Chains A and B, each alone.
Chain A
């Protein structure tokens, strides 16, 4: 265990970074390598980017006496996952020009572009800037992209709730102007006082920090997996406030028993407006001041809370706020899903939710989704919203434009894919993993689609083809695809091997538990065949697969 008084190396990098500038400018002009300096690799995350390399190519490049194929992944900051048609056009071209071309929707409602080489970072960010898009704090030890229920049909107050995502995101942005100086060539500040940061000081947070806003009854954002969760309380079509949770987080490390997934704990109700913002702000400051800064494996808020005790933590937040939480208001999550296909909201505007397998927007043999979205953007008659299930909603369409948009979706095979995919496929999530994720132990998004193709016949045999069983796969136990909140969780342990987790519920309210370790494909299929068979025969009416495996004590919850 690291010495609790000794700061982790990243802490030094942060405080020495001169407002997250580091030596990025030097790193960028160093043309001998496609990489940046090691310290800058930590700093650049705060600007929404990761240095990566194509892991498929490592060995071959080394033999050729070439360095690894370094490139950068850029993650946009898109609170609530909303972008306009105009912005989509920009995004489309930027992706084509500087990245692999695939626009990847993440599990936190934003998009990532991969494969951007060092010299293209600035042009990319400058182009984004012209469309009022940025990647500030999309990664790093700060508050990340704030997610929010994506489906406007949910409630009349959707827009009002949605606005909180933006406000919180802005409130918790680092004050430094480094992003503008380094990437957009803006003049450096003459008065550094202007960027003094009362929230982050010069140390930022001990670790990443995530906030989500859910509008019951849909838990599409998986609110309990966040460091801070806001559950909108709506009475008589009016937003009155939020039930606030804290301490969610899913990542674990294989073989490190001090790490564990944890669902957010309910703190209480807080009325809408300034008070909500204040509570969120102070939860962040408590984590800033109490979080573990020596061991990054144990520094998320979930561990801070468990160390302090929930009551002590709550007291600390309340005392910083100057007011107390009220008793949580009743709410119920009865679903966690995207409403695929056409839907209409209270104003009569239309929405089409597209199923995007693993969130990868591209043109392929299943249709030309990327072109379809671009052509829709060209009409200027729709906006776009991303969901936390890696899907996209073509949204805000006037009644008179619906046929035109529908025609474009039809023409490019989008509707066929969305309506033709199986229930399990549409309820699947896979993280990025290979070839870009440096932490991946096994494949995920490149593999889950074929695995599902092999599970589908089993489902058919057991007459479960329409059952919306949630299946999630990640390449490692960090949990980017929230696999511990799935009915079938597959967590990579080594290339081609996965732990099978069972017993989670369908709505993201109960963690699953490891059932079997290190399964290869054949084992997975064999296990699932048996489990699905008995589920099909023995389930109670309306009982989900997750609830069934839990009730049958196929796995033991602790």
Chain B
């Protein structure tokens, strides 16, 4: 909109000015625009655009407040809370776009975020996923505690949340919802409504980004804050199958409706199931091989998600007790099918969430402590009365949640096979020992059974470049991703050294994939294997004890740039492993506790410390 000569003059001025001078000029122009400084302004001509340095700034007849110049004054922060790297990937991608658009952006992981900065943010954008049973990612816990206990106000902050989740889980995008609500309650201005996205998040997320970017570009225009029209424009991009489900500013939320392409479900056939544990073992760990017709697209470090079926005897029992008609076709949530089919394959009947139990109490008219329970027990203890019919109960049930299993095979392009390593989960309830639903379901599936699964990418659990050394700590089923790593490194002929820590209860019966590991050691793919069999001697020995014994060597590997991975149970294993790692760093690096923590933080920053724990 300005003549080229004027533009060149401006460029010349900028080039010859110091940073301080530019800031001064910026302030000056700012004042000029707001009327504090009296000077002659150029004519505002309609919706002309101010073109600076090749990037477009939506002028709307005004100069955007402070964003018009190379040094932006209004800042935006894109923070992310991630477990498996999706949120991070998006945050980095959006920050890069923002930079290209000459927006001033800071991209930060929530665990690195300085909490005292929060009330000083201009624009705070958060990308956060949900894990566990509707829980925040590990790395976001501190932040969430902080805002939950926050006493002040965030009136000056403008925000928006992008929630990542998986609609197969009952508590879909719960963490995103909670954070969104909390920030709003603290007085922050929701400038773009919450966007929830499913595992095929790319497009919905891109729509959200366009909305926030456009908001920031227009930030000078106070009227634009939360203006549904602007949002509508940004989100109405055909690429986004977003749906505005609310219209008031408070509840405006956009749910990404699964598109036709949806999340990619694969149908596979089990070709082999081997219990890797020998007779006499207390464990049952199944190596399961699944073959698909379609080519699979996963990488070592990814998992597959499987939705188990309920136990058929139990389902029949429930239907009989309830006197229901197994073949009656009903609808519950997004599912329609016969009572039997829904109970068997779609609806969760085990260990119901307290929210579901509460719904049952409301429905059935009983008063009792709302604690998690199996459906069969609820029906037994509090039988339906007052004309409440069983199908109504089906209406309150959540879908069966998917379970993830780390891929234990490596795929070279075009492969049609995936392996997983499933440990039959045993746990003690008040009165009996029980088996986990999905792990038992998988362990018991006969060969040739069909399984439906989708791939869950774990972007933060990937092999490094060829020459890097890696240390893998994977006791129990933690071995799974490392089996996949080793196949891959072997196939690719990676140059880095590989050190495996494995542990289980007994050498003789529980050394998962023993002959394969021996072979890797013989052929030089594995350079070191350290083993801990906890119950082969009086005192319990775990992987962390072996790490400690090898502390000197381990620290040498780390200072040499090795990437450290831990996989398997979260608590207590991965916690003990981390503590031990810190001890080793402190001891062999002659560091204080704080320095050791800083060392580990640095490793995290350099993407040299990864966890795949559950």
Enumerate chain A interface residues (CB-CB to B < 8 A): 31-34, 60-67, 69, 117, 119
User: Which chain B positions have C-beta within 8 A of A119?
Assistant: 507, 536
A61 touches B278 (CB 8 A): yes
B507 touches A65 (CB 8 A): no
B518 touches A32 (CB 8 A): yes
Q: Is B529 an interface residue (CB 8 A)?
A: yes
**What is the chain B residue whose CB lies nearest that of A66?**
B514
Q: Is B277 an interface residue (CB 8 A)?
A: yes
User: Which chain A positions have C-beta within 8 A of B529?
Assistant: 32
Q: Is B499 an interface residue (CB 8 A)?
A: no
User: Which chain A positions have C-beta within 8 A of B277?
Assistant: 64
User: Which chain B positions have C-beta within 8 A of A60?
Assistant: 278
Shortest CB-to-CB span from B525 to chain A, Å, is 14
A34 touches B508 (CB 8 A): yes
Q: Is B276 an interface residue (CB 8 A)?
A: yes
User: Which chain A positions have C-beta within 8 A of B275?
Assistant: 64
Contact A65 to B508, CB < 8 A, known contacts A32-B521, A119-B536: no
Shortest CB-to-CB span from B563 to chain A, Å, is 23
Please give 7 more A-B residue pairs, beta carbons under 8 A apart, in addition to A65-B516, A66-B511, A69-B278: A31-B507, A32-B517, A64-B275, A65-B514, A66-B276, A66-B278, A67-B518
B507 touches A67 (CB 8 A): no
| Shortest Cβ-Cβ A-B pairs, 10 listed | A65-B515, A66-B514, A31-B531, A65-B513, A64-B276, A67-B514, A67-B515, A32-B529, A66-B278, A32-B518
Shortest CB-to-CB span from A28 to chain B, Å, is 14
In the complex, what distance in Å separates the CA atom of A369 from the CA atom of B513?
A: 41
B477-525 contacts to A (CB < 8 Å): 507-509, 511-518, 521
User: Which chain A positions have C-beta within 8 A of B516?
Assistant: 65
In the complex, what distance in Å separates the CA atom of A467 from the CA atom of B536?
A: 51
Q: Which of B515, B521, B531 contacts A66 (CB 8 A)?
A: B515
Contact A34 to B507, CB < 8 A, known contacts A64-B274, A64-B276, A66-B276: yes
**What is the chain A residue whose CB lies nearest that of B277?**
A64
Q: Is B287 an interface residue (CB 8 A)?
A: yes
Q: Which of B274, B508, B531 contacts A117 (CB 8 A)?
A: B508
User: Which chain B positions have C-beta within 8 A of A31?
Assistant: 507, 531
B521 touches A65 (CB 8 A): no
In the complex, what distance in Å separates the CA atom of A119 from the CA atom of B513?
A: 21
B518 touches A33 (CB 8 A): yes
User: Which chain B positions have C-beta within 8 A of A117?
Assistant: 507-508
User: Which chain A positions have C-beta within 8 A of B518?
Assistant: 32-33, 67
- Selected A-B contacts with CB under 8 Å, 5 pairs: A31-B507, A34-B508, A64-B275, A66-B278, A69-B278
Shortest CB-to-CB span from B278 to chain A, Å, is 6
**What is the chain A residue whose CB lies nearest that of B546?**
A31
Shortest CB-to-CB span from A32 to chain B, Å, is 6
User: Which chain A positions have C-beta within 8 A of B509?
Assistant: 66
Shortest CB-to-CB span from B581 to chain A, Å, is 22
B508 touches A69 (CB 8 A): yes
**What is the chain B residue whose CB lies nearest that of A68?**
B515
Shortest CB-to-CB span from A19 to chain B, Å, is 29
User: Which chain A positions have C-beta within 8 A of B536?
Assistant: 119
In the complex, what distance in Å separates the CA atom of A117 from the CA atom of B518?
A: 18
A63 touches B274 (CB 8 A): yes
User: Which chain A positions have C-beta within 8 A of B508?
Assistant: 34, 69, 117
User: Which chain B positions have C-beta within 8 A of A32?
Assistant: 514, 517-518, 521, 529, 531
Shortest CB-to-CB span from B287 to chain A, Å, is 7
In the complex, what distance in Å separates the CA atom of A62 from the CA atom of B511?
A: 12
Contact with A along B215-234 (1 / 0, CB 8 A): 00000000000000000000
Shortest CB-to-CB span from B90 to chain A, Å, is 39
Shortest CB-to-CB span from B608 to chain A, Å, is 27
In the complex, what distance in Å separates the CA atom of A34 from the CA atom of B517?
A: 14
A64 touches B278 (CB 8 A): yes
Shortest CB-to-CB span from B477 to chain A, Å, is 14
In the complex, what distance in Å separates the CA atom of A60 from the CA atom of B277?
A: 11
**What is the chain A residue whose CB lies nearest that of B537?**
A119
User: Which chain B positions have C-beta within 8 A of A64?
Assistant: 274-278
Q: Considering residues B274, B508, B509, B518, which has the most beta carbons from chain A within 10 angstroms of its beta carbon?
A: B508
Contact with A along B260-286 (1 / 0, CB 8 A): 000000000000001111100000000
Q: Considering residues A64, A65, A69, A119, which has the most beta carbons from chain B within 10 angstroms of its beta carbon?
A: A64
In the complex, what distance in Å separates the CA atom of A65 from the CA atom of B275?
A: 10
User: Which chain A positions have C-beta within 8 A of B514?
Assistant: 32, 65-67
Shortest CB-to-CB span from B282 to chain A, Å, is 15
In the complex, what distance in Å separates the CA atom of A119 from the CA atom of B508?
A: 11
In the complex, what distance in Å separates the CA atom of A69 from the CA atom of B506?
A: 13
User: Which chain B positions have C-beta within 8 A of A69?
Assistant: 278, 508
In the complex, what distance in Å separates the CA atom of A34 from the CA atom of B507?
A: 8
Q: Considering residues A63, A66, A119, which has the most beta carbons from chain B within 10 angstroms of its beta carbon?
A: A66
User: Which chain B positions have C-beta within 8 A of A61?
Assistant: 278
B521 touches A62 (CB 8 A): no
Q: Considering residues B287, B509, B514, which has the most beta carbons from chain A within 10 angstroms of its beta carbon?
A: B514
User: Which chain B positions have C-beta within 8 A of A67?
Assistant: 514-515, 518
**What is the chain A residue whose CB lies nearest that of B275?**
A64
